[in-house]
Amino acid sequence: MPPKFTHAYLVLLLLLSTFALRAQEVYVHVNNTDLYDFIDELTNSRIIEVNTTIKPYSRTFIAKKLSEADARRSELNKRQQGDLDFYLKDFNKELKADKNFDKRLDLLYYKDSLFTFSVNPIVGLTYYTNDTGSFYRRYVGGEFYSYVGKNFGFYASLRDIHESRRLSDPAYLNQAEASNYKPDTEGGGDYDEIRGGLTYNWSWGSFGLLKDHFVWGDNYHGSNIFSGHQPSFTHIKFTMKPVKWFDFNYVHGWLVSDVLDSSRSYYNGNQIRVINQSKYVASNMFTFTPLKNWSFSIGNSIIYSDQSVNPAYLIPFFFYKSVDHSQTSSGSNFLGQNSQMFFNISSRAVKKTHLYMSVFIDELAVGRALDPDQQTNFVSLKVGGRVSNILNKNVSVTAEYTRNNPGVYRHYLLTGTFANSSYNMGHYLGENAQEIYLSVSARPIAKLVVEASYTFAQKGQEYNYTGSSKDTTNDGKGLPFIDLVYWESSELGLNARYQILNDCWLSAGVLMSDKTGTTAQLDQYTMPYYKGKKTTISFGANVSF
């Protein structure tokens, strides 16, 4: 981080200390889907109110919502009460002034009037087998979080991961954890991942310097705005909630472009020191709740590069496309800025039912939309819904459809793509693709989740795009939506997870998949062990993620 920016950050923290205090913030990773689904179920049942468009949530926020649910315990069924009691073993650490409660098992936990400190291990192993062969993923590490006083929060987690066969790649069309692998042979992969940050919180907002994942946009099977499907990156986070009916979120991040800066790269003896082009993202989201159980979110973002941090993009509330226009020479776009808009609508007007729609607009022109010869805009659309706890029988049903038009998430400059470390930050299928996702999940007893799901996905051609009006062949206009299917996937899965202790799971699953396509695209988009018709059995155990 540039020294001047570091100084400005410290000054801002000192200024924030003059505000009224609220509580500290430490974020719970979005991979903890069982916890997030339980919060979602309580929200759908109108036990609590949560803006589910923006994740992750902080531990303090989750503790507050669990406390609100506990106050309405009589409205919960036996299984929900069991799950609530189970999670309170952990999150009562934020609610209770001492340790005199039924507390979860921690490797180390300390708390006094000034300082809170918690340490726990991270370890996991998942084994997969099908008729192609067997492979596994294992990881080991540790994590801690800490509060100091009434404002500051700190947290970090580090894990070392080994995969006997590489599960992720920027080209693979799956939702495996994105990875920057170390050099390896025989198809395996090793990498490490560190996440965490420091935060300052006050009565109506928070400010943090983080390296973590975040998700924007309601979804149950991959967001089409910010999906969190990329290696975590360093970012500034600012949140604000001055009134009950309005939330604001802002992020400025440092991305990895994977684009060589030849002028700064150099040889050191016989080795070349590779320097990448700079790349950043700035994004905001305004969420309004005009009516109870309805929310509307609108925001915008910009990918910019080939320059140092631009102070204009540090202003949280801007419409960044206009900043781009005012700072780029007439008729050119040499700085590589690529702007986006998005909005999300979420409704829980019908109790236990969540309906939502999110739209990501990478390039929009009204004239193009109305011209039958130009057909498509660079847009991704997701619509879906979930009915939770049907007939109070602990069964939920989810349906979701996603359509990604040609050109979306792309840019004619490599440094302008909506990606980090070459992994798309939006929907995992990328451009010119569609997906249908259906699932039925049951929670027959507390801590147990059994889920059956069906996913059907198709992808068409990825077109060349120069962005030039003079290049009518590759100008992005009139591109047909999946006129030919280059890759297709059908998956029917059954999975079960049981959380024996807080953050400690046993899991098992079977996946019947059929992945087909042209030879080049099937090889490019598919992890080799999943090509063709496969029945893959998996089982594993993990402590944290």
* pLDDT confidence bin for 15, thresholds 50/70/90: very low
DSSP code, position 244: T
Q: What is the pLDDT of residue 156?
A: 98
State the total domains in the chain: 1
Q: Which residue has the higher pLDDT, 186 or 254?
A: 254
Distances (CA, A) of 43 to 76, 79, 471, 476, 530: 12, 16, 50, 41, 37
Q: What is the pLDDT of residue 367?
A: 54
Q: What is the pTM of this model?
A: 0.92
Rounded Cα–Cα distance for residues 255 and 232 (Å): 9
Res. 246: pLDDT tops 90: yes
Listed in order, strand segments (DSSP E) in 3-79 are 54-55
Res. 45: pLDDT tops 70: yes
Res. 252: pLDDT tops 60: yes
- Scan for tokens 């039925």, then name that residue: 440
Q: What is the pLDDT of residue 129?
A: 98
**224-228, 337-341, 372-376: range with lowest mean pLDDT:** 372-376
What domain range is 504 assigned to? 3-543
Q: Name the token pair of 347.
A: 């409704």
b/e map 13-29, b = 16+ CB within 10 Å: eeeeeeeeeebbbbbbb
Q: Are 38 and 388 in contact (CB under 8 A)?
A: no
Res. 320: pLDDT tops 50: yes
Start-end of H helices in 287-337 = 320-327
Q: What is the pLDDT of residue 264?
A: 80
Closest residue by Cα to residue 123 from 109, 134, 107, 135: 107
Measured distance between the N- and C-terminal CA atoms of the chain, rounded to whole angstroms: 28
Q: Which residue has the higher pLDDT, 21 or 355?
A: 355
- Scan for tokens 């409704």, then name that residue: 347
Res. 328: pLDDT tops 70: no
Rounded Cα–Cα distance for residues 53 and 297 (Å): 8
Rounded Cα–Cα distance for residues 422 and 542 (Å): 28
Instruction: For 386-416, give the DSSP string.
Output: EE-SGGGSSEEEEEEEEEE-TTTT--SSGGG
Backbone φ and ψ for 457, nearest 5 degrees, come out as -135, 145
pLDDT > 90 in the chain, percent: 78
- Scan for tokens 């400690």, then name that residue: 504
Q: What is the pLDDT of residue 10?
A: 43
**7-16, 82-91, 141-150, 283-292: range with lowest mean pLDDT:** 7-16
Rounded Cα–Cα distance for residues 83 and 87 (Å): 6
- Scan for tokens 């905001």, then name that residue: 284
Instruction: Tell me the sheet residues that pair with 48.
Output: none
**CATH at 209:** 2.40.160.130
Work out the angle at residue 108's Cα, subtended by the Cα atoms of residues 106 and 109, and round it to the nearest 5 degrees.
85
Task: For residue 234, give every residue at least 6 positions away whose Cβ sits within 8 Å of its Cβ, in sequence order, or none.
Answer: 1, 209, 210, 211, 253, 254
Average pLDDT over residues 275-302: 95
Instruction: For 469-507, give the DSSP string.
Output: TT-TTSSS-S--SSSS-SEEEEEEEEEEEEEEETTEEEE
Backbone φ and ψ for 265, nearest 5 degrees, come out as -75, 150
Q: Are 306 and 336 in contact (CB under 8 A)?
A: yes
Rounded Cα–Cα distance for residues 189 and 172 (Å): 15
Q: Are 399 and 430 in contact (CB under 8 A)?
A: no
Q: What is the pLDDT of residue 185?
A: 60
* pLDDT confidence bin for 52, thresholds 50/70/90: very high
3: cis peptide before it, omega within 30°?
Answer: no
Cβ atoms within 10 Å, residue 170: 15
Task: Give 475-512 pLDDT, tens digit per residue.
Answer: 566 788 999 999 999 999 999 999 999 999 999 999 99
Q: What is the pLDDT of residue 18?
A: 39
Q: Name the token pair of 545.
A: 């993620």
Res. 201: pLDDT tops 60: yes
Q: Name the token pair of 239.
A: 């949140």
Residues in the chain: 545
Q: Name the token pair of 97.
A: 């002034």
pLDDT > 70 in the chain, percent: 89
* pLDDT confidence bin for 143, thresholds 50/70/90: very high
Q: What is the pLDDT of residue 207?
A: 97
Task: Give 172-199 pLDDT, tens digit per residue.
Answer: 999 999 989 988 666 799 999 999 999 9
Task: Give 343-352 pLDDT, tens digit per residue.
Answer: 999 999 999 9
Q: What is the pLDDT of residue 11?
A: 45
Task: Give 382-438 pLDDT, tens digit per residue.
Answer: 999 999 999 989 999 999 999 999 999 988 888 999 999 999 999 999 999 999 999
